[in-house]
Amino acid sequence: MNKRYRLHGGLLLEVMVACALIAIIVPLIGRAIWQLQTHDALARMFSEQETFSSALASQFSAQWSRLRPAGCSPNDHSQLRIGKGGEVTKRLQSRDVDDHSDWLQATDSGACRLSIRSLSNPLTLTNECGFSPGERANVSTCLGNVDARVSRVSAQSTTFQLSSLTVMSTDSNKAVSLVGQTGVLESRASFYWYVGRGKNDQPAFWRTPVFSGRSLALWLGLKRLAVFPLLDNNQDGKVDAIDKDYGTYDMSKVLGLWVEYLYQLNDCEVAKSIQRQRTYHSMRGEQWQYNAPCEGVANTIVVFTG
């Protein structure tokens, strides 16, 4: 009888020890699993951040790499303007422009380009670019640039009326003829680029034509934007300054743009409990607050290819 009690007591003790071990081990295992899941979720978020940031940088390059006109002579009429979100032009007053972001006004030169074998006025070229009557273009030669306007369009060709066939030589300060010169004709379209409210109230990267036309949301998830011109002040073909001021710049001195941007992932699965507020100090000395890893800050350089 005592042996039976001793047996039952031993089993009870083993059960109690097992329960105690389970009570200790299960929370540890649960915590380890939670940490592993969290680590995996964070790894996915950082990977998505890298992909999203790179894609957004490619969007900036696609929009802005053609802001400098092509050709071997500068276009004196080409300018770039950088403004503050709280101080917009009349054209943007009806748009929901972010007060804390920069906006950019410039001309996209050369979304389509055609080679010119022998310059004349009027000038007839192939209809590869899909120009419409009244649209403007730029003709660039090594002697100078002239404006062109589409006067006639057919299924096979486009005819342009040139503003002039002479330009002022920079060497002799005399008028020189462009008749018979080779060159490039490039499309020209002026736009504003800015941050504003997009689909489902998400912040977005927008483009609006300067004169008329519909605005286009280029990319969802851009929350804040700062743009700085990279300047070649001594005209030696190399960047020697970066300007932090707002204003208008002669494109003959701008070789590219330094871009800072704050973005948010469209679908962020990380719990709010593991998000952390971060601060980014921008080149203008501003402090950008964001929640990592669902939001991130990056910068890129856009090199003009004209």
| Amino acid at site 125 | L
- Distance (Å, whole) CA 151 – CA 293: 54
Predicted confidence (pLDDT) per residue in 25-53, tens digit: 556 555 544 454 445 555 566 567 888 99
What per-residue confidence (pLDDT) applies to 267?
77
Query: For residue 266, what pLDDT is reported?
Result: 80
Higher per-residue pLDDT: 36 or 56: 56
Cα separation of 193 and 83, whole Å? 10
To the nearest whole number, what is the mean pLDDT of the chain? 84
Residue 5 or residue 56, greater confidence: 56
**Could you give the percent of the chain with pLDDT greater than 90?**
53
Distance between CA 128 and CA 85 in Å, rounded? Answer: 37
Q: What is the pLDDT of residues 89-129, one digit of tens each?
A: 999 998 999 999 999 999 998 889 899 999 999 999 998 88
DSSP string, 5-23: HHHHHHHHHHHHHHHHHHH
If one compares 13 and 51, the residue with the highest pLDDT of the two is 51
pLDDT at 83: 96
Query: What pLDDT is recorded for position 27?
Result: 60
Model pLDDT, residue 104: 98
Question: pLDDT higher for 171 or 82?
Answer: 82
The angle at the Cα of 149, spanning 146 to 154, to the nearest 5 degrees, equals: 130
DSSP, collapsed to helix, strand or coil, labels residue 154 as coil
- pLDDT tens string 185-228: 999 899 999 999 998 889 999 999 998 889 999 999 999 999 99
**Distance, C-alpha 82 to centroid of its chain:** 14
Element (H, E) at 136: strand 136-140
**pLDDT reported for residue 33:** 47
For residues 273-292, average pLDDT = 89
* Phi, psi of 8, rounded to the nearest 5 degrees: -60, -40
**Phi-psi region for residue 50, left (φ > 0), alpha (ψ -120 to 50) or beta?**
alpha
Pairing of strands 216-220, 222-231: unpaired
CB 224 within 8 A of CB 239: no
Mapped onto helix, strand or coil, the DSSP state of residue 210 is coil
What pLDDT score was predicted for residue 34? Answer: 44
